[in-house]
Amino acid sequence: MAKVFLKEGREEAPSRGHPWIFSGAIDKIEGKVDAGGIVDLFSHEREFMGRGYYNPRSQIAVRLLVSKPVEIDDTFFQGRIKQAISHRKSLLSPETTACRLIHAEGDLLPGLICDMYGDYLVLQLNTAGMERFRDVIISILKDLISPQMMYDRSDPGTRAQEGLPDSTGPIGDGPFPDYVEIWENGARFLVNVKKGQKTGFYLDQRDNRSLIRGLAEGKRVLNCFSYTGGFSVYASLGGAVGVTSVEASADALEVCKKNLIRNDIPLENHQLVKGDVFQFLRGDQGEYDLIVLDPPAFAKRKGMVPGAIRGYKDINLYAMKRAKDGGMILTCSCSQHIDSGLFHKILSYAAVDSCRQIQVLGHWGAPPDHPTALHHPEGEYLKAFLLRVVE
């Protein structure tokens, strides 16, 4: 097995449990290893620090799997995957049939994501190390879950950075359905696994959708970046007197309409707007009791942070202007490179420019089926603040 040695003074991160070793921290490599191969990590003084997989083409050169010299084989993956699935069983109610089964670093399996949509599983194998164990992982999931079918929705951009080809499509024989129906807290949704955002649905917003349902009674609601209408359906089921959904994708709005119908929600109480959210917020003169801002990640890379700051400030500034006195705003960021502290500052700047007094009623991250490793703060990508406009 190849050995990776760190530069002097670069031991702090792995010694406190962080799973990533960047290429700039590596001093030398003894032995031969190709992309995705298992390596042992040592300090500059040759002290064993962990075992993981290596990729010379990635900025994150080593992703640690264990801190002890245990065998990384079929038995190892079976134990880790079984542990992750067991954790989810205690989280789901009979009224929910979709969740994240495996959450990469959060389940000590960096590079691997698995989402369950009813009887179907959707995989992301985003790193060379996980791609190397593809067949093992698929076999274990089939044995433990017995899904009707599986689908590969690995992220093309991430795989390209790893030197891997694009990998999307059905796993196994037979056509995969265009839409899969799921239940979430008693609400019904159609999920487009093949072409939808992420793996088809924003599973990480489940708890926040429930929050909106509990706040929506008698309120006029604006759902920005509505996608297929998750928040819109929940708001309607919660008793909203009117809901406006704004989304740039006509296909997503069509699915939103189907989801409303599927939940017996009268369409006359719902306005579907195809358009750019920024332009809508600037031009709209309506006032709302409850506004949801759940945009896509504005900063997928560190170099995009300055532009993301401007984007988040703009949408929150205009949302604050559109909210009634006493109105509430659920504002979210799923940009990994915008941490909670920075997001809080952005919101405070928006509040100053909007000339509104704003309260923070609470803030949250992703639900328990999206766990984060304590020593991997980068995994805390989702930030959600519930704000109230005082005056």
How far apart (Å, rounded) are the C-alpha atoms in residues 174 and 177? 9
Which H or E run contains 113? strand 112-117
From the list 296, 345, 288, the residue with the least C-alpha distance to 318 is 288
For 218-235, b where at least 16 C-beta lie within 10 A, e where not — what string?
A: ebbbbbbbbbbbbbbbbb
How far apart (Å, rounded) are the C-alpha atoms in residues 101 and 104? 10
Q: Which residues are part of the catalytic machinery?
A: 334
How far apart (Å, rounded) are the C-alpha atoms in residues 32 and 23? 16
For 63-91, b where at least 16 C-beta lie within 10 A, e where not — what string?
A: bbbebeeeebeeebbbebbeebbebbeee
Half-sphere exposure of 39 (CA within 13 A, CB side): 28
CB burial of residue 112 (10 Å; 0-12, 13-18, 19+): buried
For residue 162 the two structure tokens come to 């790893």
CA dihedral 140, 185, 178, 147 (to 10 degrees): 20
